[in-house]
Chains A and B, each alone.
Chain A
Amino acid sequence: MRYCALWLLLCLCQLTAWGQQRPWVESIVYDPQRDGTFDLGNDTQVYQYHNDGKGVLYRGEQPALHQSLRVALTGIPLDSSFDGMVRIRFVVNKQGKAGMFRPLVCNVQGEEVGLEPSSLQALLQAVQQADGWQVKNIDGKPVHYYQYVLFRLHYGSIAQILP
């Protein structure tokens, strides 16, 4: 009986914790049409990449990430009239798989603008192919987290990649 009460109490605690997950800005909502089989399991809580204080976690760190992105984009002509940034934000799940990619394109004045669809597609594919994201833990348990890659494009060339 006592264990039952304890179990009930634990369940209540979990429910309270669930209730405390208030909506965040910049959250990405799963869309089966765009996101296919990408899986968050039963846990929809997604943390931010910086919540563990450990910095960017990619196997082989920045050299490997940039190498992967640049190789994927080699020989692909990018929009030669565009001067601005393309941020591709996504979720890395508890298994270290990335999905739910969402682009944001803007110019250096901070206005949302368009980018040649073939360029955007190439950038999206390059980010989707980078598969070295590492699992992040909060309080010793793996969590889903938001991460992003930002391309600074300058008239057809990639001036810089972040992170």
Chain B
Amino acid sequence: MRWRLLLLLGLFGPVLQAQPNCNAFYFQGDVAAYEACKYLDTATYGHYQYEEAFQEICDKALAICPHFAYAWREKSTAYVKAGNFVLWLKYMNQAVRFDTLGMLPVRASCRGKFFADHEGAIADVELFERMYPGTLAMAHNGTYSLAMVKALSLRALNRIPEAILTAETYLQAYPELPGMYDRLHLGAMYLQLGDTAQAKSQFERQWQQTPIAEAAYQLARLALTEKQPVVARQYSQQARQLFDAEQRLFDPYHYLSDQLFEADLVALEEDLR
């Protein structure tokens, strides 16, 4: 387990975005970024990202150091949450300009999730792949790898075979690093193409790896089509238990692809009666 964690940290360390370590700028000889970072760190204490005062503090930090990418991202955050594409993109573009390695994955993954800008998300992931070949990066909140972000956006544009290829290529290249819900999404993509055998295999792998209500629900649905009511009922009951225990896809900002809803579950339960 420990080596796995080390591997993860080693791989994702450079592209994980948390609060910056101000001292790191100092040791890199970037005194302006160090000063801006220290200022932002203390001045924003007790302020909320949505406050106008918070924006002003970021502006002051950027007056100290215009290339301090983190302050640009902080300015963008309230707007991504409020669904304002105009101002979010304006500030996020600056963040990407000054820290492409760190911020391009954030821009890529927020485009699809918060704005349904899937063409833009795919273009961003491809730009990242060209600029940093072989570098693994994660979505803004760490749920998905950038490859899965691309796969989900391809799927949203109904380019399912490409989406499957992208997800499969990633999962084969990094079998030790599947995202928490990657197999569920991949299974659902196969299902869209009518490949129930592959879909089932992916849902089973999801079930073994991270048993969530969505996996049990999909397996119940497949068992029902395969005329195996006993198996279907078993999975349906497990789906209900997990759903009620909130062991399911969840996001504080949006509904997610392949998320199970109460209405779907009720419909399944009625079909099994």
Question: A residues within 8 Å of B by Cβ?
Answer: 22-26, 48-50, 53-56, 60-64, 85, 87, 89, 104, 106, 108, 110-112, 146, 148, 150, 152, 159-160, 162-163
A163 touches B85 (CB 8 A): no
Which of A24, A63, A87, A163 is close to B84, meaning CB atoms less than 8 Å apart?
A87
Which of B78, B156, B253 is close to A55, meaning CB atoms less than 8 Å apart?
B253
Rank and list the top 9 A-B pairs by shortest CB-CB distance, nearest first: A110-B89, A152-B116, A160-B116, A24-B50, A62-B255, A61-B261, A163-B254, A26-B82, A148-B83
| Chain B minimum-CB-distance residue to A161 | B116
B253 touches A108 (CB 8 A): no
User: Using Cβ atoms and an 8 Å threshold, which residues of chain B touch A53?
Assistant: 252
Task: Give the CA-CA distance A49 to B117 in the complex, in Å.
Answer: 21
With A25-B79, A159-B116 known, 5 other A-B pairs at CB within 8 A are A22-B53, A26-B50, A49-B253, A89-B82, A108-B119
User: Is B39 at the interface (CB under 8 A from chain A)?
Assistant: no
User: Is B207 at the interface (CB under 8 A from chain A)?
Assistant: no
| Chain B minimum-CB-distance residue to A113 | B86
B90 touches A110 (CB 8 A): yes
B83 touches A87 (CB 8 A): yes
User: Using Cβ atoms and an 8 Å threshold, which residues of chain A touch B114?
Assistant: 162
Task: Give the CA-CA distance A64 to B266 in the complex, in Å.
Answer: 14
B82 touches A146 (CB 8 A): yes
Q: Please name 24 pairs of A and B residues whose Cβ atoms are closer than 8 Å in the assembled complex, sorted by A.
A: A22-B51, A24-B48, A25-B79, A26-B50, A26-B84, A48-B82, A49-B253, A50-B252, A54-B252, A56-B255, A62-B261, A63-B261, A63-B263, A85-B117, A106-B85, A108-B117, A108-B119, A108-B120, A110-B88, A110-B90, A146-B82, A150-B83, A162-B114, A162-B116
User: Using Cβ atoms and an 8 Å threshold, which residues of chain B touch A85?
Assistant: 85, 115-117
| Chain B minimum-CB-distance residue to A53 | B252
Task: Give the CA-CA distance A98 to B252 in the complex, in Å.
Answer: 20
User: Is B241 at the interface (CB under 8 A from chain A)?
Assistant: no
User: Is B251 at the interface (CB under 8 A from chain A)?
Assistant: yes
Which of A22, A110, A159 is close to B85, meaning CB atoms less than 8 Å apart?
A110
A24, A62, A87, A150, most chain B CB atoms within 10 A: A24
User: Using Cβ atoms and an 8 Å threshold, which residues of chain B touch A22?
Assistant: 51-53
A26, A106, A159, most chain B CB atoms within 10 A: A26
Chain B nearest CB from A69 CB (Å) reads 13
Chain B nearest CB from A102 CB (Å) reads 11
User: Is B250 at the interface (CB under 8 A from chain A)?
Assistant: yes
Task: Give the CA-CA distance A106 to B3 in the complex, in Å.
Answer: 47
A48 touches B50 (CB 8 A): yes
B84 touches A62 (CB 8 A): no
Given A55-B250, A60-B263, A163-B253, answer yes or no on A48-B52 (Cβ-Cβ < 8 Å).
no
| Chain B minimum-CB-distance residue to A58 | B255
User: Is B271 at the interface (CB under 8 A from chain A)?
Assistant: no
Chain A nearest CB from B3 CB (Å) reads 33
B55 touches A25 (CB 8 A): yes
Chain B nearest CB from A134 CB (Å) reads 13
A50 touches B255 (CB 8 A): no
A55 touches B263 (CB 8 A): no
User: Using Cβ atoms and an 8 Å threshold, which residues of chain A touch B82?
Assistant: 25-26, 48, 89, 146, 148
User: Using Cβ atoms and an 8 Å threshold, which residues of chain A touch B53?
Assistant: 22-23
Can you list, as one digit per residue, whether each of B86-109 has a CB less than 8 Å from chain A (1) or not (0)?
101110000000000000000000
Task: Give the CA-CA distance A59 to B51 in the complex, in Å.
Answer: 30
B117 touches A162 (CB 8 A): no
User: Using Cβ atoms and an 8 Å threshold, which residues of chain A touch B89?
Assistant: 110
User: Is B209 at the interface (CB under 8 A from chain A)?
Assistant: no
Chain A nearest CB from B149 CB (Å) reads 16
Which of A25, A55, A64 is close to B50, meaning CB atoms less than 8 Å apart?
A25
Task: Give the CA-CA distance A108 to B81 in the complex, in Å.
Answer: 18
User: Using Cβ atoms and an 8 Å threshold, which residues of chain A touch B259?
Assistant: 62
User: Using Cβ atoms and an 8 Å threshold, which residues of chain B touch A54?
Assistant: 252
